[in-house]
Chain A
């Protein structure tokens, strides 16, 4: 069963007019949000986006923007309490905030 998180929250945006169809976004996305068709990327499954920021960082023409951050409650609480940006200051096995 595919795990899905909250709907309609992701801040992912693709400026199609800038896109050169290189396919990097589709390559790096861990949740297969993008698909490239006829030399243009397309957001196929926005609700699967976890805002890791891989697509935006690897887009050579800055066509993709996303407010990347850690989806980690503990980090958010610490951020709220200390008045700082939530950062993932923690280590784990494979998966982590």
Chain B
């Protein structure tokens, strides 16, 4: 997603070593205290943990926390082979990532099934992002197949990969190196049962990525939290300015600013398809302009001679919303690199100029030069 600070773990600082139930006969290391592990199954290669298909309160709380950006960088499980139900040598093998949110989303759709789950080490990143980075990739898949001894556990030679893993995995390369044939399953875990029942057939609908209002809504908290963190610095600076300002910043300024931030990080993403235009920065700017105009009219600034701050805000706030909305390209499921570059080459200079002039006007007004 979009914020650099909430971004990646360098591998050194965030790979915690889990307390591990390790013995020579374990295919996959796991923590015996994890309540999502319900037992073990014996295979020719050793014991494999069996996982529950029900999410506990702790799982749901964990999902909620990472949605708000809490502990998101280290929400992961050990890579390796897991079992669902009572799989045998003929059961299908589903491949997924070691981000716990991803793992939970998958296993809760597998009730009543007998299958294997092969978890790759994606450094706690979801399948699609990890595929883009190459950690959900050919090399990791091939090495994981060998390290778990998969070919000694199942007799068939088929793997089901999530379709969104395809940017990282070269199916024909995997077959060449391991003998396992790759079938890409549906985009969404909720379709996996229908996919398996129909003999590995995915409908067009199952193969298409969507970006529903709900999809967009669950992504906004992280955007909001990261904007709030930056905002604390802004408030700090304003506080210092207020110490010697002729006209200090007050509640009205606070509301105007917070409104512009929410417009860029929450409202624009939610209303994405209905806002005219295609560029994200444009969409954010447009809504930011509406917000600022509404705010100024409501507070009667135009009438009461607050011309300077009004112009200042009209330049600064829509630019701020535009910038925040532009960052949502990183969370969206349909923006291309070339498109984002094209958008930014126009938007970034305009945003910078508009914001800078607006801020200067506001400071002039406040300090009272």
Residues of A within 8 A of B (CB): 1-7, 9-11, 24, 27-32, 48-54, 57-58, 60, 67-78, 86-97
Contacts and interface: CB of A to CB of B under 8 A. Distances in A.
B73 interface: yes
B308 interface: no
25 contacts: A1-B273, A1-B274, A3-B334, A6-B279, A9-B336, A27-B184, A27-B207, A30-B209, A54-B163, A58-B170, A70-B330, A72-B329, A72-B330, A73-B327, A73-B343, A73-B344, A76-B341, A90-B4, A91-B6, A91-B73, A91-B126, A92-B1, A92-B72, A92-B331, A96-B128
Contacts of B337: 51, 67-71, 86
A31 B334 contact: yes
> Looking at A29, A69, A73, A92, which has the most chain B CB atoms within 10 Å of its CB?
A92
B59 to A, nearest CB: 14
Nearest to B164: A30
B133 interface: yes
Interface of B: 1-4, 6-9, 66-67, 72-73, 99, 101-102, 105, 124-126, 128-129, 131-133, 163-164, 166-172, 184, 187, 204, 207-209, 211, 215, 218-219, 222, 272-274, 278-280, 326-327, 329-344, 348
A71 to B, nearest CB: 4
Given A72-B330, A95-B332, A97-B330, A28 B166 contact: yes
B208 A6 contact: no
Given A5-B339, A97-B331, A54 B129 contact: no
A55 B125 CA distance: 22
Contacts, number: 196
B338 A91 contact: no
B126 A92 contact: yes
A77 B323 CA distance: 11
Nearest to A79: B341
B256 to A, nearest CB: 24
A50 B280 contact: no
Contact of B327 (A48, A70, A74, A89): A74
Contact of A6 (B125, B339, B348): B339
